[in-house]
Amino acid sequence: MGCIVHVGSADGMSLCLLGFLLHASTQCNVPKSDLELEGDYLMAGLFDIHYASNTLHLGRPEAMDCSSQPFILSNYRRFLLMKFAVEEINNSANLLPNISIGYKIVDHCSDSHSFPSMFNLLSVNGVVQVWDEPHNKLSKVTAVIGGYTSSKSLTVAPLFMTRFIPMVSYSASSSLFSEKKTFPSFLRTVHPNKAIIAVVVRILQHFDWRWVAFLNIDDDYGNDCRKLFIAKIHDTQICLAYTKGLDQNTDYLPIFRQIETQRVNVIVVFAPEWMAEALIESAIQMNVSNKVWIGGEGWSLNQKLPKTKGIQTIGTVLGVSEPAKTIPGLNDFIRSFKAHNKHNRTKKQTPCNQWCDCSLSSAEIIAADPSFSFPVYSAVYSVAHALHDALQCGAGRCNSEITVYPHMVLRELKKIQFTLLNRMIQFDENGDPRSGSYSVVFWNKSGDAQEVGYYNFYKSSDFFISTSEIQWFVPTSLCSKECSEGQMKKPQGIHKCCFTCEICQDGTYINVTEDPYTCKACSDTEWSPEGSTRCNLRLVEYVPFTDPAALGLMVISGLLVVLTLAVCVLFAFHYNTPVVRSAGGSMCFLILGCLSLSSISVFFYFGKPSVAFCIFRFLPFLLFYTVCVSCFVVRSFQIVCIFKIAAKFPELQSWWVKYHGQWVVISVAFVIQALLLLIGYSSDPPKPHNETFWYLDKIILGCDINLKATSTSVIFLLILCILCFVFSYMGKDLPKNYNEAKSITFCLMLLILTWIIFATVYMLYHGRHIHTLNAFAVLCSLYSFLLWYFLPKCYIIMFQPEKNTQQHFQGLIQNYTKTISQ
């Protein structure tokens, strides 16, 4: 054997050693079998007709005897499908009219012990050309159909990628192959894993299954599916409760126990058919029941399992697969092939690592799992169409003067677009099918994979499942029961599907589409009862001017102004009479005027509050009522002074009269209160306030008062009231008919009682009519002085004129003076 290498080339030395290994392991002088067919251009076919586990260890480097490994009938059927497709192309007068296509079929039973067969495809007379030499010793293989699994394809793909030999896989769906920098000449007629994962997730969402287990073969295909599945469900309500990688040594008992412990009712399985058979048969033996099994396309169309005894007990089996497509002439070809080769195949007549079990009947082969049939068929035709374009075929002939190299076939493959059995065949920029669909199948009681739905992608992403065609036990698969309306989810553990439910309190709501884990607070203008999913606008309440109570109080306030005006007129006509003079004389007009001005506040308790309304709601009453009270303080002091102090301290009375002490006191009180109000209102004036604390569904419009800013003015008014009460109380034993001190005391008692009642109600009631009650308390304060101080004097003036004489008053004073002097 010759080996051409460059000195110092590590790559060349490696190829030389592998070439020696290849030569040593394939020295089998056997006639050409049905695994090979000569032609102008060759296609290599990689089919897992047998399966060898990766744990198999050999004592030395050698080609594996695949015939000693477990036989896979469905892959044998796919191998025959490639033979059929090549024969059909060679018999076509239009596709490659004067060109013949040959093939070399490899039983790719192992991903780690099949390199001799791979180098056999690349060699010429046992020699593999070094990569940087001219194209003079190239293999006739222009394209490779396969491999079957992602792991085996990943193992051998680099050998073909370096020479840009197209690999058109009919089953390898790992997302890694879409990376064109790593796999520039890899194409496939099946969709990548992300497509079938999208279908599975749509099925889960359709039936609202959120608590699922994911079992996969522990290889590149299965691990890629699991990774894509986890990424796909990340932003959904689906949770991965349990996941496990499977191999030929897996013990299924702890797996099913764990699934039962976690109350998982839906199991997604991505595995080849031989592993799926072992898994399902174990589930039957272990009495696993009432589950939903969702299978990938590797075993969804399995012909053996649906007819297995006890299959109905495990639950419902759904699957996702390529749509079933009948390939015309295939069954006749299989029958003809088996009949022709019935007695012509023995183990010794085939290559030493390529033996196939030919004792099978044609019926058994035809009935095998039809998965990936159309992808095999379309892969062969894709290469043929690429050769058609590269050889410039047309008018019944191809240009035989053109030498087609693999990279030329690759270039044309990327551009092909043709229809095969009413399906469009075209590759996208990643070498994946540009269009297509999946079928959703259900294993019915007859043992058939019945199509019950479909998923069209790339264009419309149309999805449909006919639930009525599925006869099943429909489980729920939830970690936690969905929360009732108005409840939030409180996570438990690491899974978002596991939670407890807590009802949202009043004033909050839950929007499960935005955030099912948080009760959000309503705004100040909204409210919600306990367990709400939305907020309602609060009812805005205030006392309008048209309110009957407001109208009544405003009429009463107006009546007070009229009464004060009438009293002023009456006092003016009887100004020099003893009753008017003893009531205060000119001071009475100041008191009556301030009572009228204080009543202005009443009108600002009604209507929608504003800054001005809030200021005038308190300012007139506090300012002018202070003047009224200070007048009564002076009157009380004067009464006590006349009857009690004057006799003992005559000098104090003379000073008081000389310097008009009463007006000084009133003026000082007015100025102090005015300054206090000015300072307080300048720093923080009353302003409109929305009261939302006491009522969930209402906003009570009122005024916000800063107690720190207004408390000094209120305290000052309170001090005046206390002084007035003290002085008036000191005159309680004055002459019976001279009762001014008693009148003032009684007025103050009414005043205190009024505001004690209002304060009590204010603490118990916070509705809109609290402002009506406040206005009523103001009016009571005003009417207490008008009715109980001025009205008796008006009565004497009008109905008891005999008491309104100088002699009557002097007699009362003289009698009282004699009494206290004794």
| Strand 423-426, strand 266-270: pairing | unpaired
How much of the chain, in percent, has pLDDT values that exceed 90? 50
Residues 416-422: contacts with CB under 8 Å, at least 24 apart? 416/382, 416/385, 416/386, 416/389, 418/381, 418/385, 420/377, 420/378, 420/381, 421/325, 421/327, 421/328, 421/374, 421/377
Residues 612-623 have pLDDT tens digits of: 999 999 999 999
Neighbour count for residue 810 (Cβ, 10 Å) = 11
Query: Tens digit of pLDDT for each residue in 335-347?
Result: 888 877 664 554 4
d(CA 631, CA 668): 11
How many other C-beta atoms can be found within 10 angstroms of the C-beta atom of residue 608? 12
pLDDT digits (tens, 9 = 90+) for 659-702: 677 888 899 999 999 999 999 888 888 899 988 888 888 899 99
pLDDT at residue 471, as a whole number: 78
Mean local confidence (pLDDT), 627-639: 86
- Beta strands at 186-188 and 239-246: parallel, antiparallel or unpaired: unpaired
Q: Which residues, in sequence order, are bridge partners of residue 50?
A: 71
N-terminal to C-terminal alpha carbon distance within the chain? 158
Taking each helix axis from N to C end, the angle separating 586-598 and 661-683, rounded to the nearest 10 degrees, works out to: 20
Crossing angle of the two packed helices 650-658 and 661-683, in degrees rounded to 10: 60
Q: What is the DSSP string of 426-468?
A: EB-TTSSBSSEEEEEEEE-TTS-EEEEEEEEESSS-EEEE-GG
Half-sphere exposure of 755 (CA within 13 A, CB side): 12
Q: Which of 216, 215, 213, 175 is nearest to 193 (CA)?
A: 175
Sequence-distant (6+) residues with CB within 8 A of 409 are 142, 143, 166, 383, 386, 387, 390
- pLDDT value at position 184? 94
Q: Report, as an integer, the average pLDDT of 422-451.
A: 91
- Examine the pLDDT at 11 and tell me if it is beyond 70: no
In the three-class reduction of DSSP (H, G, I as helix; E, B as strand; rest coil), residue 15 is classed as helix
DSSP state of 815: H
The total of other beta-carbon atoms located within 10 Å of residue 125's CB is 8
**pLDDT exceeds cutoff 90 at 124:** no
Give the span between the Cα atoms of 803 and 737, in whole angstroms: 9
